[in-house]
Amino acid sequence: MYKGLLILFLNFTVAVNCFSQETVVWLVRHAEKQTAETMTANPELTPEGLKRAEDLSATLNNRKITAIYSTAYKRTLATANPLAAKRKLEPITYSGKNLEEIAKKVLANHKGQEVLIVGHSNTLLPVIKALGAESSFTELTDDDYDMLFKVTVPEKGIPQLSISYYGEPHHTTQIPPQFAGKL
């Protein structure tokens, strides 16, 4: 009798876990952009930035990214392009104006999937907050290019944030220990 109940319980647990849908949202700031005398309102990536975009693609290569969101700037699209090309995905452009809407859209349209959002130093933290995760910083600096944010949104419960570095080091802000994660 006990053995039968145990088997029934284990089957039920497996069935429940198969149907719970966890959404994973990866967020990165665009890679290194051209600055100084070459600065325009819409700069391209530097050679280091192009390398970082390739590093991002390699880092997320084994993840099941089903959609990529990017602002319409050259630097964000160029950061997204290597992974988008590898996955045969067209980046979905969004405005950096209403960041709560992009979070709602991602959660509504990609439930149970993995999504990449490429943004800016002033847009990532508000999106993380809109996804329901505790934000680790009040701001990112202009030198923070190598952080990969992962927000895991369970079907029920509190979204969790973890942060890792990827590619060559290029940051001034340190990841708080409580958010340091592995990919």
Answer yes or no: is 11 within a domain. Answer: no
Q: Is residue 94 predicted with pLDDT exceeding 50? A: yes
What is the percent of the chain where pLDDT is above 90? 78
Domain around 45: 20-179
Answer yes or no: is 82 within a domain. Answer: yes
pLDDT at 135: 79
- Average pLDDT on 5-16 reads 42
Helix (H) or strand (E) holding 162: strand 160-165
CATH code assigned at 61 = 3.40.50.1240
- The mean pLDDT value of the chain amounts to 89
pLDDT at 112: 98
Nearest to 124 by CA among 91, 76, 178, 77: 76
Give the rounded distance of the alpha carbon of 102 from its chain centre.
Answer: 13
Q: Mind listing the pLDDT tens digit for each residue in 101-122?
A: 999 999 999 999 999 999 999 9
Beta bridge partner(s), residue 67: 115
Answer yes or no: is 15 within a domain. Answer: no
Q: Mind listing the pLDDT tens digit for each residue in 40-61?
A: 789 999 999 999 999 999 999 9
Q: Mind listing the pLDDT tens digit for each residue in 161-173?
A: 999 999 999 999 9
Q: How many folded domains does the chain comprise?
A: 1
Can you spell out the DSSP letters for 56-99?
HHHHTTTS-EEEEEE-SSHHHHHHHHHHHHHHT-PPEE--SS-H
Answer yes or no: is 102 within a domain. Answer: yes
Answer yes or no: is 5 within a domain. Answer: no
Angle 148-151-157 from CA coordinates, rounded to 5°: 165
Answer yes or no: is 7 within a domain. Answer: no
Answer yes or no: is 174 within a domain. Answer: yes
Q: Between these two residues, 1 and 31, which has the higher pLDDT value?
A: 31
Q: What is the pTM of this model?
A: 0.88
Buried b (16+ CB within 10 A) or exposed e, 96-130: beebeebbeebbeebeebbbbbbbebebbbbbbbb
Helix (H) or strand (E) holding 152: strand 147-153
Q: Mind listing the pLDDT tens digit for each residue in 117-163?
A: 999 999 999 999 999 999 778 889 999 999 999 999 999 999 999 99
Instruction: State the pairing for strand pair 147-153/23-29.
Output: antiparallel
